[in-house]
Structure 1
Amino acid sequence: MSYVGPDFDPPQPRRPRRRALTVAAAALVPGALLGWVMYEAMGDSGNAGGSGNAAVRPSGTTPAISGTSDDKPPGPTPTTDSTTDPTIDSTAASGPLQGKVVVIDPGHNPNNFRHTAEINRKVNIGTNWKECDTTGTSTNDGYTEAEFTLDVAHRLRTLLQKQGATVKFTQDGDRPWGPCVDERARIGNKAHADAVVSIHADGADTDQRGFHVILPAKVSEGAADTGPIVTPSRELGERIAGSFVRVTGSAPSNYVGDGTGLVTRKDLGGLNLSTVPKVFIECGNMRDSKDAALLTSGAWRQKAARGISEGIVSFLRG
C-alpha cells in the first residue's frame, strides 16, 4: 500500500521502548517462533519492534491448505464483468466453509494510473473526505502493488474455494479504474460477508521490513459506525497474523505495531464504512530489497496466500 492518498496516510512510526524483547517473544507460541527463526535466517537487517506485548498467535489446529508454488496463480481468471456486477462470485466446493462468504479486496487497480482524474476525486469515508483510490506502490524494479495484490488474491480464492467458501472480489483488473474505497466497503457489506480481507504491500523506507495487519478502530461519526465489527475484526486479524508468521516465515513489521504485527487505525474508509468483519494486510515493504525479493517470488506469494487463507479458515470455523 502506498501511504499517499485515500486510506494510505502513513501511521507515525513509534520509537521502540526499552522493554525486553522476551516480552514479545514469550507471547508467540512455538509455531510462530519457528517462523520468526526462519525470517532471521533469511537475513533480517532490522529490529522486530521489540516493545509491547506480541499479539501475533497461530491459527490453532486449522489443517494446512495445500496449493501450488509456481509463479502463476492457480485457476482461471473469472470472466464476470465487474463493471456490471462489482462482486465476482466463484463457485464453492463442498467443505468446512460451505455457506460462508469471503470477500477479497485486491488493493488498487492495474489501470488506475490511466485514470488520475477519476481516482483523485474525493469520497466520504465517514470521518472525512479522501481520494477515491491511488495507483499503489511498486518495487524499485517496477513490480507493482496492483499486480501483487491480484496475484495473491487469485491464489487465496483457490485455497478458500477448496474449503467450500463462496468467494467474491471487489475487482479483478477487469474494470478501467477503482473501485473507490467507499464502494469497496459496500461490496463486502452487500455480500453480507463473513470476512473481508484487503490485500496490500507497503511503500515504506528501505530497511523497514515485515508485515502488519490493520484493524478498524472504534469510530462513530457520519456514515461510519465500526462498533459492531471491532471485536470480530480483531479476532480475524490476530488469526491471520499468526498464520502468516507460521506459513511465510516473515516477522511482524519492525516499523509499526510495536512488534505485534497488528495496527489499529481510524483513517481508512475501507474499514470505517464496513459493517462486516474486515482487515487489511500489508504483506511486506516493496521498497526494501529483502522484502521485495519475497514479494516478487511466486513461491512466497503462494505461502502468503496460504497464511491468509488459514487465518480466515480458523476465524470462520471458530
Structure 2
Amino acid sequence: MKLGLQLGYWGAQPPANHRELVDAAERSGFDSVYTAEAWGSDAYTPLAWYGSATERLRLGTSVLQLSARTPTACAMAALTLDHLSGGRHIVGLGVSGPQVVEGWYGQRFAKPLARTREYIDIMRQVWARQAPVTSPGPHYPLPLQGETSTGLGKPLKPIVHPLRSDIPIYLGAEGPKNIALAAEIADGWLPLFFTPRMADQYNAWLDEGFARPGARNTRETFEVAAVAQIVLTDDTEAAYAAIKPFLALYMGGMGSEDTNFHAEVYRRMGYAEVVDEVTELFRSGRKDEAASIIPDAVVDDSAIVGDEAHVREQIKVWEQSGVTTMLVSPGSVAEVERLASLVH
C-alpha cells in the first residue's frame, strides 16, 4: 500500500501549513502529493509550488476539471510540470457536474463519457508528438472548422518535446460506466467515496473496461488511488461528528437536488433513505441537522476511524479490496508521520 497526501482545494484563504505537510510527506516515505480544484483555487499552481520543494514525491491532481481547460491546454500544463519535476506528474481528470460546468465555466455538459474519451485522445497526441494534433470532434474539433471559424486554423505539434511521451492519466469516476471507462482508457481510478464492502461490484465494473478491445492496462498494471479519510483517535464519537458535515455537503448540497453524482454513490451503497433526508434538510438550510442524522455506520463505510490497531487492520482490508494508494489528508506533521509508520 502506498500513501498519497491529498491537499485538496483551498477554502476562503490559502492553507497555512501545506508546505510543512508536503515536506513531512517527502521525509516520511509518502508516494505522492495531490491537489484539487472546484471554483476557487486551481490545481496546477499549488502543485507546482509545493512540488518545487520536493525531489521524490509524485505530483498528481485529484482532480482537474475537464471544462476548465481545452485538452491541448491541459496537455501543455502537464508536459510543462512533468519536465520541471523530472517526470513525476500524474494527470487526474474528472468531468465535474453540470452545475459547475455550465454555471462556472460556461461550457456544455452533454455526453461526459464521449467528451472524456476525446479529451484524453488529444492529450496523448500532444505528448506523443508524432504528428500535428488533429481531432474530428464533435466535442473538441481540431482544427476548428465551420461557420464559426475563420478557416485559417492549422494542425500543430507542440514546440516543446515532452519529457515523457505518455504521462499517466487517472480518472475521477463515480458511476459504473465511468469506472469502466477508466479501466479501458486510463492508467488509474480516483474514487472519492470508496467502500471495501463494494469491492466485488467495483471489480466487475473495472473488469468490463479491462476486457474491451484496446484497453491500456490489466488489473496488475492499473492504479486505484482512493481518497481515504483516516482519523487516528480514541474518541471516535468526536471524529464521526467532525466528518458528518463534509458528508452532508457532498450528499445533500452538491449539484442540484435531482442531479448529484456524489449522492448517487451513497444510493448505490444502500443509503437512499439517508440521502433523501439529508438532501431535504440541507437544501432547506438546516445543515447542522442534516449532518447530525447521518448514522455512524455511513461514516464507517468509507472512512477509517479508530486507534492504531484498528487503522492498521482496515488499511489491510482496503488493500485486499484492490486499493493501491490511499489519499489521506492529515492535518499536522505529527499525523503525517504517524500514518506513514502504519504503512511502512
Provide the TM-score with structure 1 as the length reference: 0.29
Q: Higher relative contact order at CA 8 Å, sep ≥6: structure 1 or structure 2?
A: 1
For the pair shown, the structure with the greater C-alpha radius of gyration is: 2
Give the structure with the larger helix fraction.
2
